[in-house]
Amino acid sequence: MRIQHKSTSYCQFSNAERFILIKTLFSQGTSHTTRLFIVMVLSCVLMFVDHHEKHLQGVRETLAALVTPIVFLADIPGEFFAWGGENLISRSQLRQENARLNDEVLILKAQLQTLVALQSENARLRNLLGTENKRVERKMVAEIIQVDSDPFSLKFMINKGSNHDVYIGQTVIDAYGIVGQVVEVSPFYSRVLMITDSSHAIPVKVNRNGVRTTAVGTGQINLLELQYVSDTTDIKVGDLLISSGLGQRFPDGYPVAKVISVEPDPGESFTRIFAVPEARLNQSSLVLLVWANQPVRE
């Protein structure tokens, strides 16, 4: 028959041949369906018998032992992808946690810087309040709010004035020594002349032996000069100069400067002596106003 040739087109068949072909295909489909039905019935019977009689227990255990490696191998891809997914999630979480911790570290470092600044300011205030002479009964902390830009005038402004009982000639110190004295007063502000200004002079004495002299400003912020000191005067490099209290302008005993140079003046009977102020004239942001020989106001 022509239907046995696979290369023959279905359209070339006659109606009778087409009917025979459909019947043959249907018969083959019915055969497979019947076989499937028989297999399903047999399976149900075997499951029923096994459930009640347990005859296939050994067989099932043997088959389970044989199939276990196959099941294990079949599960490997799923386990691998699950493990990879967990690792990816863990790494992502670790990165997020690391980023969060880095942010916290940055914030804590910023806070630490603030704490360090506060600790330093607290230490300065403690030192500042601890520098008063025993005979000084009153003190007040003031803040430097402006420094004169005139290179020939070493002055600065503080945020305390006559409303705070500040007066002209009042001694101003910092945590290390004498800074200067008040030269101008307004109700809320005052102007202070530094001890190194060329127009300023302060009576001092050598802490080592009590030799008295006068320290004069040179116009340089970190340099004082002792004028008209005899070449026989016992002053050495490293000597600490303190306020002598003469003139009753500056209280006695405050650090003023330290000697850094002792040079005989050729042809003269005097020695040129230079010293650096103990006060941090170009660094201090806080100063202390002191009232000598006055009772504390409660």
Mean of the pLDDT values across residues 147-174?
A: 90
Is the model's pLDDT at 102 over the cut of 80? no
Evaluate if residue 5 carries a pLDDT over 90: no
Question: Is the pLDDT confidence value at 197 over 90?
Answer: yes
Region 22-45 average pLDDT: 66
Residue-wise DSSP of the chain: -GGG-TTS-GGGS-HHHHHHHHHHHHHHHHHHHHHHHHHHHHHHHHHHHHHHH-TTHHHHHHHHHHHHHHHHHHHHHHHHHHHHHHHHHHHHHHHHHHHHHHHHHHHHHHHHHHHHHHHHHHHHHHHHHT---TTEEEEEEEEEEEE---TT--EEEES--GGGT--TT-EEE-SSSEEEEEEEE-SS-EEEEETTSTT-EEEEEETTT--EEEEEE-SSTT-EEEEEEETTS---TTPEEEE--GGGSS-TT-EEEEEEEEEE-TTSSEEEEEEEESS-TTT-SEEEEEEET-PPP-
pLDDT at 274 over 90: yes
> What does the pLDDT average to over 76-84?
72
Give the confidence band of 158 by pLDDT, cuts at 50, 70, 90.
Answer: very high
Closest to 217 (Cα-Cα) out of 196, 189, 246, 238: 196
The dihedral region occupied by 218, where left means phi > 0, alpha psi between -120 and 50, and beta the remainder, is alpha
CB neighbours of residue 245 within 10 Å: 17
Instruction: Give 144 or 121, the one with higher predicted confidence.
Output: 144
Instruction: Supply the mean pLDDT for the chain.
Output: 77
d(CA 254, CA 202): 11
166 or 267, greater pLDDT: 166
Going by pLDDT thresholds of 50, 70 and 90, the confidence category of residue 136 is: very low
Task: Indicate the range of 168-172, 221-225, 249-253 predicted with least confidence.
Answer: 249-253
Q: What is the pLDDT at residue 16?
A: 59
When pLDDT is cut at 50, 70 and 90, the band that residue 283 belongs to is confident
User: What pLDDT, on a 0 to 100 scale, did the predictor assign at position 298?
Assistant: 39
Distance from the first to the final alpha carbon of the chain: 132
Q: How many CA atoms lie within 13 A of 261 on its CB side?
A: 13
pLDDT(11) > 80: no
Among the listed ranges 28-32, 46-50, 95-99, 136-140, which one has the minimum average pLDDT value? Answer: 28-32
Whether the pLDDT of residue 6 is over 50: the answer is no
In this prediction, residue 194 has a pLDDT band, given cuts at 50, 70 and 90, of: very high
Gap between the Cα atoms of 110 and 115, Å rounded? 9
For 72-96, what is the mean pLDDT?
72
What is the amino acid identity at position 222?
N
What is the reported pLDDT for 275?
A: 96
Query: Could you tell me the domains of the chain?
Result: 2-55 (no CATH), 136-292 (2.40.10.340)
